[in-house]
A and B are shown apart, each in its own frame.
Chain A
Amino acid sequence: MKSLKTALHIWIGIASTLSFLGGWVMLAHSPKPVQPTQAQALVVSITPLPTLPPIQFFNNGFANNPIQNSIAPNPQPNPLVSSGVPLMRTRGS
């Protein structure tokens, strides 16, 4: 059991060392990142972003003409219309 544990330790040690060295070699041979010059950076920063098209809410183009709430809210808890029909309120549940 003890020899098995020792062998496991040695195997983990060798595998770790080889992996580390392999990674080192890979990074050493990979292309270096290009540092942008000041002029390049300026060009990038002033490139205009493309304009996104408006969201098409409904296929018939109704999205371009929503009913705006231009009517002043009518703060009356339970009003009645003139004919006596109660103005019921739909409010969500």
Chain B
Amino acid sequence: MPQVMDADRMSRALTRIAHEILERNRGLDELALVGIRTRGVPLARRLARALKEINGDDVPTGALDITLYRDDLMRHPVGPQPLVRRTEIPFSIDDRKIMLVDDVLYTGRTIRAALDALIDFGRPRVIQLIALVDRGHRELPIKADYVGKNLPTSLKQSVQVRLQEIDGTDEIVIEGEP
């Protein structure tokens, strides 16, 4: 399976994003990271660590499960319901700048669900999006504010992000015919 990013390049992309965040935000107060389950969560934690290393401050980090907000839940003619996991956002999101973190940005529907979920939690001042990979083919008017890698793909392909914390290794691979 063609590897488009190895561990080293992933790490550098995350570090670069962390620097971008600091550049564009004039400091980290009011900022919080919310990773979208499942792989957005370890990515958010890594970013928080990177930000702390560079800047010295702790950035509150949370985990968001968007399963119950998906727009395609009841529309599958056959097939199981996706497994629901806990959302853990142990801080108030009111008036904060929330950085949503996801591994792959594709149709944009996951992000739409995440926005609906966040708004039920409170009223952030600003919400921005960090995506490790943007593979195009948006179905909704959603854009990422920070991107690790732009990866043009065809609809027949699938992009898999593997993370040490979950898959035992760091890499990004593409499957399928271009």
The finding on whether chains A and B are genuine partners in a shared complex, rather than unrelated, reads no
Interface residues of B (CB under 8 A from A): none
